Copies of this chain bind each other. A is one copy, B any other.
Amino acid sequence: MSDFVIDYPDIQFARSRIRRQGVGPTPVHRWYAFEERSGKRGLQVYVKCENLTAIGAFKIRGALNAVMSLTESEARRGVATHSSGNHGTAVAYAARARGIPATVVVPENASPQKMNLIRHYGAELVTCESTQKGREETLARLVEERGRVPVHPYDHPAVMAGQGTVVDEFLDSVPDLDWLFVPIGGGGLISGTAVTVRSRRPRMRLIGVEPEGANDTKRSLEAGTRTPHPAPDTVADGLRAFVGRLTFPIIQKWVDQVLTVTDQEIRQAVRWGFEELRMVVEPSAATVLAALSQTALPERARIGVILTGGNVDPGLWASLQRDASGPGR
């Protein structure tokens, strides 16, 4: 038991709830090429493949848990969120699964592909100015005027508990993980992860990873209080969010270390995903591969990484491949 908004039983409950909706467990893969390169015979690297969920990202878990835990009267009001990325798709997917309406606020410059995907799952799209203020005001209006229930992308107990199911499955597959690398955007995934880990495997080393251009969590930990990055800018588009009010205290208490990686390192890691894991790894997910590869690792250990998603705009992908093809390995 803890002072936080979620506890391990919330995660166990979330897990059975989303399992009934056909989500999980995702496959666990090995990063054989990295193990080879390391030259350390006792090193094993396990990759939890959240790019292989129905929407290609772990976000399906939190959204589904949040939407499925609404009361009947809340559900009738429908849900709303703002997101131009995986959380928007996840909320649309979850609302369809429950058979209720969903509205997703997207910035007017969102990619047509992502908007198509959200529409595909039957959600209504409302465009807004592409500023944080524009998004929040539009969402607030939907909540006020149409009674929609907001589903925050990370600062929401049911969302955090849903994201915590990733590592709960991971520990069933590889019970003796020693280290775990997890990306940090708003902190939904790593806070749910931390709650699970400290209950099931308290001494595991838990490492958060941020892009250098959006290192608000690192800044916040150093300052001892939530401190935004003045102008987040990174190719890892899923990690630009500001660490949450609910997620930050959990990170403060239970995450052992936060590492940062540069955009150039992220691009190289996307290419490792392609060539060595034979998977599509979006930049936000590649951060953990980048961080792992620059960490001094023990001779003998089981290392886990959560590969959070595989949705990449084809144009961005092409540019990533071009940029990474300079002097490589």
Which of A48-56, A69-77, A136-144, A290-298 contacts the other chain?
A48-56
By a CB distance below 8 angstroms, the chain B residues around A27 are: 27-29, 49, 52
Flag A39-58 by CB within 8 Å of B: 1 or 0 each. 00000000001011010100
A314 is an interface residue with CB less than 8 A from chain B: yes
Give the interface residue-count category, chain A: 20 to 34
Given A278-B52, A279-B280, decide whether A321 and B311 contact each other with a Cβ distance below 8 A. Answer: no
A299 is an interface residue with CB less than 8 A from chain B: no
Chain A positions 9-34 with a Cβ under 8 Å from a chain B Cβ: 27-30, 32
A325 is an interface residue with CB less than 8 A from chain B: yes
Instruction: Give the shortest distance, in Å, between A114 (CB) and chain B (any CB).
Output: 12
Q: Contact between B49 and A30 (Cβ–Cβ < 8 Å)?
A: no
Given A280-B279, A318-B321, decide whether A32 and B51 contact each other with a Cβ distance below 8 A. Answer: no
Q: Contact between B311 and A278 (Cβ–Cβ < 8 Å)?
A: yes
Number of copies: 2
Q: Contact between B29 and A54 (Cβ–Cβ < 8 Å)?
A: no
Flag A273-302 by CB within 8 Å of B: 1 or 0 each. 011011110000000000000000000000
Given A29-B27, A36-B120, A120-B36, decide whether A278 and B56 contact each other with a Cβ distance below 8 A. Answer: yes
Q: Roughly how many angstroms separate A257 CA and B275 CA in the complex, as a whole number?
A: 33
By a CB distance below 8 angstroms, the chain B residues around A30 are: 54
A310 is an interface residue with CB less than 8 A from chain B: yes
Residue of chain B at shortest CB distance from A309: B278
Q: Contact between A52 and B29 (Cβ–Cβ < 8 Å)?
A: yes
Instruction: Give the shortest distance, in Å, between A94 (CB) and chain B (any CB).
Output: 14
By a CB distance below 8 angstroms, the chain B residues around A52 are: 27, 29, 277-279
By a CB distance below 8 angstroms, the chain B residues around A317 are: 274, 321
Q: Contact between A278 and B280 (Cβ–Cβ < 8 Å)?
A: yes
Neighbour of A279 across the interface among B28, B36, B279, B321, CB < 8 A: B279
Provide a sorted-by-A list of 9 A–B residue pairs whose CB atoms are within 8 angstroms.
A27-B27, A30-B54, A51-B278, A274-B280, A274-B314, A274-B317, A275-B314, A278-B280, A314-B321
